[in-house]
């Protein structure tokens, strides 16, 4: 199913007068509304191909029906999101879950919907049917050179798929680690992993980036071979200028100061990409901004501060992606909420009076610094975000249109009630 522009306009029509009032009010209270809107319009969030179906836990999975059955349908789903919010113009693919058997056809299909290919993702955390060697005891860290080579070859294969699609980054997340003390020699595991990544790095085209994603826990429970930002930074530094750290919000222990990590990685020119999600405990893969929206704002505040300090383009110089999974919500509704939360946090962070904040910091005026940040955070920027969408032909209320147009019902009609998307 498609949602046409005229349908969106019809849904917007009765909301326009109220929107205008709300917009005029916010625009009159902030100094830079027009500039914020231009930045919001340019900002696109990559949607993970694996988040379009219902996720689950190891205890169960409750599919909602109408899930995309192949890559074409995944692109169609993201096309729907993008038509509604105009901020989901990118897809991040996971290989082998989404092998583009006909790359030029897939690329053309995505282009029709205004979608480009964000970072490609390799998968050396699962064994695939017919795979020669198992990743049970790791992939790039493995004690066996042939298993390491298999993982390296897979990553290079993923780069090649990405080249055909016009992507320009590879995200490597390794489940490697150990479950028990003594299982692994940490130093050898690091060195094996580094030399594997070096092989992958050599296969990168000149304009490509390699994102080294870290995770503190799971699926290994005792040690993780790329366990935190320090370890990721170590790999990225040793690899070279095309290698960067990727921060996934859910991959930290509770209460870690992620905004400080972001600030320092940016300072070192080593922050490459983001996986947005939210969690109460750890990698819960919840809707962005659903648990700790203030933290999300603080992260964006550091992102903007750090990117501006380095003269970076907000929209294009980092990879912005969601990495979430949905157990109880409609995946597309969840993604609409996640993108909205990202846009809100970004808009709020754009409102921070940086000059005043810097003065407050210089004067050790702690209360004033807090007032400045919270003043921006407590501004209702939703009309600014809605205005940015409206200017691009999107919906004032994407989720309401998704429901009013009965998108899920139509997808179930098209694809059936028991279609299951590839992914976790």
- Give the residue with the Cβ less far from ligand PSV, 83 or 93: 93
* Total number of residues that touch Mn ion (CB under 5 A): 3
- Give the residue with the Cβ less far from ligand PSV, 217 or 392: 217
Q: Does 50 bind ligand PSV (CB under 6 A)?
A: yes
C-alpha–C-alpha distance, residues 118 and 286, integer Å: 21
Q: Does 248 bind ligand PSV (CB under 6 A)?
A: yes
- Shortest reach from residue 379's CB to Mn ion, in Å: 30
Structure tokens at 320: 């912005």
- Residue from 323, 333, 334, 387 touching Mn ion (CB under 5 A): that is 323
- Residue from 209, 275, 389, 415 touching ligand PSV (CB under 6 A): that is 275
Q: Does 283 bind ligand PSV (CB under 6 A)?
A: yes
3-state helix/strand/coil string of 151-170: HHHHHHHHHHHHHHHCCCEE
Piece of the chain touching Mn ion by CB under 5 A; list 10-18, 184-192, 241-249, 371-379: 241-249
Q: By CB neighbour count within 10 A (0-12 exposed, 13-18 middle, 19+ buried), where does 188 fall?
A: exposed
* Total number of residues that touch ligand PSV (CB under 6 A): 10
What DSSP element (H or E) covers 259?
helix 258-267
For residues 379 and 30, is the Cβ–Cβ distance under 8 A?
yes
- Shortest reach from residue 50's CB to ligand PSV, in Å: 5
- Shortest reach from residue 70's CB to ligand PSV, in Å: 18
Report the partner that residue 121 touches, choosing among Mn ion, ligand PSV, none (CB closer than 5 to 8 A by kind).
ligand PSV
| Residue with token string 């995200």 | 171
- Shortest reach from residue 217's CB to ligand PSV, in Å: 10
Geometric angle at alpha carbon 325, from 321 and 327, rounded to 5°: 160
C-alpha–C-alpha distance, residues 174 and 406, integer Å: 39
Residues 322-381 that bind ligand PSV (CB under 6 A): 323
C-alpha–C-alpha distance, residues 45 and 138, integer Å: 31
Q: Does 270 bind Mn ion (CB under 5 A)?
A: no
- Shortest reach from residue 360's CB to ligand PSV, in Å: 36
Report the partner that residue 333 touches, choosing among ligand PSV, Mn ion, none (CB closer than 5 to 8 A by kind).
none
Strand intervals (E) in 195-350:
209-213, 223-224, 243-248, 271-276, 319-322
**For 134-159, b where at least 16 C-beta lie within 10 A, e where not — what string?**
ebebbbbbbeeeebbebbbebbbebb
User: Taking the CA of residue 177 as centre, how many other CA atoms within 13 Å lie in the half-sphere pointing to its CB?
Assistant: 22
Q: Does 97 bind ligand PSV (CB under 6 A)?
A: no
- Residue from 67, 98, 118, 248 touching Mn ion (CB under 5 A): that is 248
Residues 204-233 that bind ligand PSV (CB under 6 A): 213, 215
* Cα 62 to Cα 54, 278, 377, distances in angstroms: 7, 21, 36
Residues lying near ligand PSV in the complex (CB under 6 A) are found at: 50, 121, 173, 213, 215, 248, 275, 283, 323, 424
Residues lying near Mn ion in the complex (CB under 5 A) are found at: 248, 275, 323
């Amino acid at each position: 199913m498609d949602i046409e522009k005229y349908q969106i306009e019809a849904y917007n029509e009765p909301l326009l007068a109220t929107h205008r009032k709300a917009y005029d009010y916010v625009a009159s209270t902030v100094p830079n509304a027009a500039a914020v809107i231009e930045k919001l319009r340019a900002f696109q969030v990559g949607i993970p191909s694996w988040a379009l179906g219902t996720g689950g836990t190891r205890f169960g999975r409750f599919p909602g029906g109408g899930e995309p059955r192949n890559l074409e349908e995944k692109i169609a789903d993201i096309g729907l999101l993008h038509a509604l919010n105009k901020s989901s113009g990118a897809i991040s693919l996971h290989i082998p879950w989404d092998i583009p058997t006909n790359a030029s056809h897939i690329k053309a299909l995505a282009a029709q919907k205004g979608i480009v290919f964000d970072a490609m993702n390799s998968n050396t955390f699962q064994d695939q049917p017919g795979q020669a060697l198992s990743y049970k005891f790791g992939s790039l860290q493995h004690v066996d050179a042939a298993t390491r080579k298999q993982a390296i070859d897979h990553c290079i294969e993923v780069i090649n798929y990405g080249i055909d699609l016009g992507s320009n980054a590879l995200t490597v997340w390794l489940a490697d680690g150990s479950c028990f003390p003594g299982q692994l020699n940490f130093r050898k595991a690091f060195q094996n992993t580094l030399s594997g990544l070096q092989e992958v790095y050599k296969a990168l085209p000149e304009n490509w980036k390699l994102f080294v994603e870290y995770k503190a826990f799971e699926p290994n429970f005792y040690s993780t071979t790329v366990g935190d930002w320090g370890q990721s930074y170590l790999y990225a530094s040793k690899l070279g200028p095309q290698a960067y750290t990727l921060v996934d919000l859910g991959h930290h222990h509770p209460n870690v100061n992620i905004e400080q990590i972001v600030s320092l990685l940016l300072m070192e020119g080593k922050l490459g990409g983001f996986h947005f999600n939210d969690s109460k405990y750890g990698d819960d893969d919840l809707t962005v901004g659903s648990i700790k929206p203030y933290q999300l704002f603080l992260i964006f505040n550091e992102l903007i501060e750090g990117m501006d300090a380095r003269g970076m383009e907000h929209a294009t110089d980092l990879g912005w992606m969601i990495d979430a999974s949905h157990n109880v919500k409609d995946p597309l509704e969840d993604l609409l909420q996640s993108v909205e939360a990202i846009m809100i946090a970004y808009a709020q962070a754009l409102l921070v009076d940086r000059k005043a904040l810097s003065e407050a910091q210089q004067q050790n005026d702690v209360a004033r610094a807090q007032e400045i940040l919270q003043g921006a955070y407590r501004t209702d920027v939703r009309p600014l975000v809605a205005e940015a969408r409206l200017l691009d032909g999107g919906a004032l209320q994407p989720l309401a249109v998704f429901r009013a147009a009965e998108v899920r019902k139509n997808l179930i009609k098209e694809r059936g009630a028991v279609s299951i998307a590839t992914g976790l």
